[in-house]
Amino acid sequence: MIKRSLGLRLAAWYFLVFALGVGIFSVGAYFAMRASLYHAIDDELRDRVKGVRRFMEQQIAALSVPEIRDEFREHSVLGPGGDLFQVIDSNNDWLYRSLPLENNNVSIDSPAQFSGSQFEVRRIQNHPLRFYTESVVVNGRKYTVQVAASLHEALEALQSFRMMLILLAPILLIGVSAGGYWISHQALEPVDQISQAANRISIENLKDRLKVPQTGDQLQRLSETLNAMLSRLEGSVDRMKQFTADASHELRAPVSVIRTTAEVVLLRERSADEYRHALSDILEESERTSKVVDSLMMLARADSGKEELLRTDVDVAEIVHEAAEQGEKLARNRPLEFRISVPNETLPVTADPEALRRALLILIDNAVKYTPDGGKIDLSLQRQDGRAVVSVADTGIGIAEHDLPHIFDRFWRADKARSRAQSGVGLGLSIARWIVAMHEGEINVTSTPGKGSRFEVTLPLRQSAGHNST
């Protein structure tokens, strides 16, 4: 299939539309001119019949038939249109016949029965003539008058006009088509420039941008839209590169520990306790690696939109109680005080209970990890402005102000606070934020270094619940 440029197709469509317009105009103009010429000739023929009638009314009573014929002959020579008319009475007696009509035996059909008027075209000796026949009554007697006019000049004018249209129409179409192609080329040239510029941009130079023409039209909006798309692509690619680098870094360490431990153990014979200790280290690192892989898979599915939550109507208070039970177990391994405050009422939300419980456990686990021995952790739930607010507060080491904007970034950890010794990989808060966002909620944090942090998860209550609270 032959591919044609958009400019050429636009020019072709312009040619077809203009050709159709020119064709309709030409046909209309031709028939309009033809009607105008015939109308002028018909008016002249009617005037001639009126002249003949007036002459007959004035002269027919005082003159004999030969004298009338002489007067008609004189009248026809002096009158407009020349000697092309004839008059017959109701008895088929000719009152007058012009020689050209008589010599060519031009007759009037059934003059006794004829009434009214009519126009017709006849060819006499290959000459087209326009005839007008009208029935008149003069002095109580019926006559039929027929006049004629040559169509030669009118047909020549029509022929000349038709030839002019035939000759000028192709020239006009060619000129207009060339102009249309040039205009379409000029109009589409910026699109070609945008296409060429976009074609030069690849994943290696996503920072490049298209030149935006300040025209205020679709081309400017197209360029701005493509630049915005490139910005989003650049951000996505940067995050993907960072994600890949961070994931490689996080996975490299446990794999290296597992391999090194195994290699060291296999260097010589070991006791059963030494083997048991080495396998314990390998198992610990394997479990940590499995958790990292599971978290990465979940975030990857979330990014692709394939991770779906099974949301149903649940009581958020029950989910908080379940998360608190596991949080107490975590705090029990440390000398920490774990307190819970949940109102004695139902706070219905539409949520995936397992996912929401996981998000709360991530916050509780972080509080346990970064709170020194003897500290306190408070888990609370309350209703506020038609929303459920879950708060996890601790008296831990806190987060520096300049680190707060980054704590939900993947693999982010403060240099000192979040270390491998605390088994953190920097994915938990990212997962928690995604879960809360999927529930149409918000997660916020306030923190003071050395005094602790407070994470708040806000979830919309079901509409019916909001009405019951008022």
Q: What CATH number does the domain containing 343 carry?
A: 3.30.565.10
Radius of gyration of the CA atoms of the chain, in A: 52
State phi, psi for 294 to the nearest 5 degrees: -60, -45
d(C-alpha 432, C-alpha 367), whole Å: 14
For residue 426, which phi and psi values (nearest 5 degrees)? 80, 25
Instruction: Mark residue 410 as left, alpha or beta (left: phi above 0; alpha: psi -120 to 50; beta: remaining).
Output: beta
**Within this chain, do residues 296 and 327 fall inside the same structural domain, yes or no?**
no
Pick from 436, 429, 427, 435: which is nearest to 296 by CA?
A: 427
Cβ contacts of 174 within 8 Å, gap of 6 or more: none
Direct distance between the N- and C-terminal alpha carbons of the chain, in angstroms, rounded to an integer: 70
DSSP state at residue 461: P
> Side chain identity at 396, as an amino acid letter?
G
**Per-residue CA distances from 352 to 235, 265, 308, 379, 440 (Å):** 30, 45, 10, 20, 12
My answer on whether 323 and 460 are in the same domain is: yes
CATH of the domain at 287: 1.10.287.130
The least confident of 315-329, 410-424, 427-441 is: 410-424
Q: What is the dihedral of CA 270, 271, 275, 276, to 10 degrees?
A: -170
Is 297 a member of any domain?
yes
If asked whether residues 417 and 324 sit together in one domain, one would say yes
Q: Are residues 333 and 463 in the same domain?
A: yes
Per the domain annotation, does 211 fall within a domain? no
Asked if residue 418 has pLDDT above 70, the reply is: no
What are the CA-CA distances from residue 177 to residues 9, 20, 23, 166, 188 (Å)? 11, 13, 15, 17, 16
Same domain, yes or no, for 14 and 106?
A: yes
Listed residues 304, 324, 340: the one ending a domain? 304
Residue pLDDT, tens place only, 38-49: 999 999 999 988
Question: HSE on the CB side for 272, CA within 13 Å?
Answer: 0
Is residue 337 in some structural domain? Answer: yes
- Asked, for residue 58, whether it belongs to a domain, the answer is yes
pLDDT at 461 over 80: yes
Q: Most confidently modeled of 5-19, 22-36, 96-110?
A: 22-36
**Same domain flag for 461 and 321:** yes
C-alpha span between 197 and 153 (Å, rounded): 65
Considering the domain boundaries, does residue 201 fall inside one?
no
Same domain, residue pair 23 and 147: yes
d(CA 262, CA 282): 8
The structure tokens listed for 152 are 């030669």
Are residues 263 and 124 part of one domain? no
Same domain, residue pair 132 and 14: yes
Q: Are residue 260 and residue 226 in the same domain, yes or no?
A: yes
Q: Is residue 141 part of a domain?
A: yes
Based on the fold, state whether residues 271 and 316 are members of the same structural domain.
Answer: no
Please give the backbone phi and psi of residue 282, each rounded to the nearest 5 degrees, phi first.
-65, -45
Task: Let me know whether 327 and 296 are in one domain.
Answer: no
Site of tokens 């249309």: 180
Whether pLDDT at 154 is above 70: yes
Beta strands in 226-298, from DSSP E residues, in sequence order: none
Average pLDDT over residues 193-212: 74
Higher pLDDT, 131 or 107: 131
pLDDT of residue 469: 40
Q: Which domain holds residue 414?
A: 312-468
What is the rounded distance in angstroms from the CA atom of residue 419 to the CA atom of residue 116? Answer: 116
Lowest mean pLDDT segment, chosen from 4-13, 96-105, 330-339: 4-13
Distances (CA, A) of 2 to 5, 8, 178, 188, 215: 10, 12, 21, 20, 34
Identify whether 204 is part of a domain: no
The pLDDT-based confidence of 470 (bands split at 50, 70, 90) is: very low
Cβ–Cβ < 8 Å for 311, 350: yes
| Domain presence at residue 464 | yes
What domain count does the chain have? 3
Q: Where residue 45 sits, what CATH number does that domain have?
A: 3.30.450.20
Compute the distance between CA of residue 111 and CA of residue 87 in angstroms, rounded to an integer: 10
- The chain-wide mean pLDDT, for the chain, equals 82
Confidence of residue 425 (pLDDT cuts 50, 70, 90): low
